[in-house]
Structure 1
Amino acid sequence: MSRILSTLLFTVGILLSPLAAQAQTLRLITDAETQSMIRDFSIPLMKAAGINNQDLPIYLVNDRAFNAFVIENGSLFINYGTIIDSKTPNALKAVLAHEIGHLAGGHLQRLREQAEVQARVQAVTMLLGIGVLAAAAGQENREDIGRLAGAFIIGASSASQNAFMAYRRSEESAADAAALTYLERTKQSPNGMIDVLNTLKNNQGLSAGASSYLGTHPLAQDRINQAQNRAAASPYRKNRDSRQDIERFELVKAKLTGFLERTQTVLNRYPNTDKSIAARYARTIAGYRAGAGAGAIKQMSALVSASPRNPNFHEMLGQMYYETGSPTKALEPLKRAIEIAPKEPEFRLIYALALADTGVKSNVEEAIRQLRRVAATSPKSARPFSILARAYAKLGDEGQADLSAAEAALRNGDEGLARGLAKKAQRNLKQGTPAWLRSDDILSLT
């Protein structure tokens, strides 16, 4: 009996861990502009929820569907399609507030606990059923008994699933209510939540006609009704997004559209008649992605001139120069991006790449200094160490190159590779130096 029970619990555990499993197979996008905006939109909402974590891990998912979710360690995942399909910054903030509601409410932990309870109920029910059928095994019609056994097990499983899914629906309603509270505490309109729920209702389509009892979320109309009732009493229902938030939001949408949507989709959404900065940004990126490097660089330079205080424009221009084989030309705009936004590690990483690829010794040495700074502020990231290995190799410093590669492997979870590289590094490092001692640390850790 204990073996059957543990197997059932294991199976249910797999079914109830879709977010963690999904996160391991997601296609993720790294974009400083987008992730910075999401973080800035999230921080006031997190404070309103009583969560003091300004280092919220934010992951941008390469998925066009309208979706976002959190996992137990507090990481937030948001599909790029959610940003594109959100009508306003307020709507996107409502999505973020909903997910923060799950974190603040401890829903993920309670969901796991509820899952364990439901698994035990299901296991006991199934075992009781199997026992009854075993007692009847002496009867002649064994084929009917076999069909009965199958029907009973399916029925028991369905009953347990229904109870579990009902629990999920209650958590979704609670997260909606929490989101509306956080929006109110930050003096933002609840109308963004209504917009989001209307989007979900449209997406739900024919699936809304299926059994709501088996759904993990309440039907969208039920959620809309709840939000409308709360919104009617909100003193901030007529508040609008700030001009700064709107401009920032529109630029991010344009960037994601330019990079991730089809060229014709970009041109339909941002026709040549649209002379706004956001439209020009989208068309420039789409042209660059389509292979028009020289033209895109010219257009991006014009955008930099139009918005000289926007660090993302400088960074994008530098990226275009670097990726089209002109690392030296990339240095000036990338350095300017860092001057405007000194706390953005992604800017320093591409700046270091460009510095290293110029092949000039002084530039490579500067790249190492920049990468050391990023590594100190982002100690869990493998990326600065991977680029450090490349930079040290250009200087012919094999010991430091192998040590940096070992650091990157360690952070990527490849302990075997980290150990091998640390051993190799020690052969080219002077014993007793900080670098040699660090390689020895890696050997002891692996």
Structure 2
Amino acid sequence: MFKLKKLANGLLIASLLTSSIPSFAKNDLNLPDIGTTAASTLTIDQELIYGDAYMRMLRASQPVINDPVLAEYVQDLGHRLVANANDVKTPFHFFLINNREINAFAFFGGYVALHSGLFLHAQTESELASVVAHEIAHITQRHLARSMEEQARRSPATVAALVGSLLLAIAAPEAGIAAIHATTAGAMQSSINYTRSNEKEADRFGIDTLAKSGFDVSAMPRFFSRLADQYRYASTPPAMLLTHPLPTSRITDSRERAQQYPMRRVDTSLRYHLARSRIVARFAGIDSSAALDWFARKSKTHNTDIKQALEYGKVLVYIDSKQYDKAQPLINKLLKNDPLNTFYIDAATDLDLYTKKNEQALKRLKDGLVQLPNNPVLTINYAHALTESNKPSEAVRVLQRYTHDHPDDPTGWQLLAKAYHDNGSSDGELAARAEVYALKGMWNKALNNYTQASQLVEYGSLDQARYDARIDQLRLSRERFSAL
């Protein structure tokens, strides 16, 4: 439904934010409670503040994929794992960055980023889940806070200075790199030893989370082994191998640990392969002919379930290349077999709107929402269909509720701004665009928009009071943000 332009990745930041280097243990999960030591200098509440600030900077500097279908899939996968993880102390947020590099990283506040390139190399959902589970463990065990505390203890730097350096590296890369070098000098060997311990814990807890969540635990060593073999002699390894090195000992230890769990047969995940096909079609940076060739080659070697996902990928390519006559019979067949699949409904809605069948799109989505009330994919598609059908007042009502329930989704605010514009509400449009600025940490632009919106409405009105209250909130947020 929505597509983004590609930007360069932040490899340095990923390498700094993910604890790396390896090793494994053979005993059970009765690890010493060293995670709590970080609380002496960095509280959970502080981590939440730092995580929120970092996420706003990421939205402004990196190509975060705001695709409702992929967002739903990644969030569902991540929270399935979190539900079975140990020592969860924060909420979790999972998101995708449009980057073909194989990488993932975790940061304060429960934020886990996955590069879209992971889907191109992970062959099963369990392999992808093994990466996510590893990153979840970095957060639950507070590895970043502990690592910073250790560095601060061994050098003149404070944890606040180290965090500030990381945030600065996003806002002003050259200054950030210099600051990081200054705050980490002199503690290299101790830092390496500490990150080895972190990786041991993350692998250990990650495999246990995989098992409890119903995934194939052997997927972790299998993915590790294939990645190491593929890039063993590469002059430039992928980002994941720079931030998560894979010596033979780590692969061996993860294999031995996986063997301690009962063997489990895990069925093919259609949703994983649908997500993978969507990324190949829309976020792999290849043209339509190359994407169709990829789907054709894969269809010769996979089972029926995966072939459905490959057909879905073809549908997206045909829609994006305006070959609507080729897309229609394929999506009709997929919907007939699985009418409530949100991947299919999203594609069918796009096709309806492109072929001027707006009423059909609206009916399809309304019927879907009866069966799946408040589903974010269907709701955002319904709002989009309303705006495309010249029904902005109805779209505003839907999007007001959606942005209330999903305040961190830029897509909802962008659509609301358009709906307000089409409905002739200049103040509403300014306010909605202000929220997009705020999500990117662009506080002055957000405040300017809200100030203009307040000046446009009737003096003393409820709208003005609401805008002025939001101005006060944003000013406070700006002060806290600047203080970091």
Q: Deviations over 1:127-171 (max 9, x none)?
A: xxxxxxxxxxxxxxxxxxxxxxxxxxx9xx987323322322221
1:240 — aligned with what?
A: 265
2:143 — aligned with what?
A: 107
CA distance in 2, matches of 1:391, 1:204: 48
1:36 and 2:72 aligned: yes
1:70 — aligned with what?
A: 106
1:286 and 2:324 aligned: no
CA distance in 2, matches of 1:112, 1:364: 49
Matches within 5 A, 1:15-94: 17=16, 25-50=61-86, 56-94=92-130
- 1:222 shift after superposition: 1.0
1:255 — aligned with what?
A: 278
Q: 1:421 to 1:268 in 2, by over 3 A?
A: closer
Greater Rg over alpha carbons, structure: 1
1:439 and 2:475 aligned: no
Matches within 5 A, 1:30-429: 30-50=66-86, 56-120=92-156, 160-206=187-233, 217-234=244-261, 236=262, 238-243=263-268, 246-261=269-284, 262=286, 263-271=288-296, 276-322=307-353, 327-359=358-390, 363-429=391-457
Q: Which amino acid aligns with 1:180?
A: I
CA distance in 2, matches of 1:59, 1:15: 14
Q: 1:442 to 1:65 in 2, by over 3 A?
A: same
Q: Deviations over 1:197-249 (max 9, x none)?
A: 11231244136999xxx976453321121122212221x2x212235xx2222
Identity of aligned residues (%): 22
Q: What's the Cα RMSD here?
A: 3.4
- 1:192 shift after superposition: 0.8
Q: Which amino acid aligns with 1:271?
A: A
Q: 1:434 to 1:384 in 2, by over 3 A?
A: farther
TM-score by length of 1: 0.76
Q: What SS does the corresponding residue of 2:113 show, helix, strand or coil?
A: strand
- 1:318 shift after superposition: 1.0
| Contact persistence 1:16–1:115 (CA under 8 A) | no
CA distance in 1, matches of 2:411, 2:121: 31
Q: 1:422 to 1:305 in 2, by over 3 A?
A: same
Q: 1:219 to 1:30 in 2, by over 3 A?
A: same
CA distance in 2, matches of 1:54, 1:444: 27
TM-score by length of 2: 0.70
- 1:337 shift after superposition: 4.1
Q: Which amino acid aligns with 1:278?
A: A
Q: 1:80 to 1:406 in 2, by over 3 A?
A: closer
- 1:399 shift after superposition: 3.8
CA distance in 2, matches of 1:277, 1:216: 35
Q: Which amino acid aligns with 1:220?
A: P
CA distance in 1, matches of 2:472, 2:242: 49
Q: Which runs of 5+ in 2 are unaligned?
A: 1-11, 19-53, 158-180, 476-484
Q: What SS does the corresponding residue of 1:270 show, helix, strand or coil?
A: helix
- 1:187 shift after superposition: 4.8
CA distance in 2, matches of 1:393, 1:268: 41
- 1:119 shift after superposition: 4.0
Residue correspondences, number: 390
Q: What SS does the corresponding residue of 1:229 show, helix, strand or coil?
A: helix
1:133 — aligned with what?
A: none
Q: Which amino acid aligns with 1:266?
A: A
Q: 1:176 to 1:422 in 2, by over 3 A?
A: closer
- 1:371 shift after superposition: 0.5
Q: 1:53 to 1:257 in 2, by over 3 A?
A: farther
Whose RCO is larger (CA < 8 A, sep 6+)?
A: 2
Q: Which amino acid aligns with 1:288?
A: I
CA distance in 1, matches of 2:139, 2:392: 43
| Contact persistence 1:312–1:337 (CA under 8 A) | no
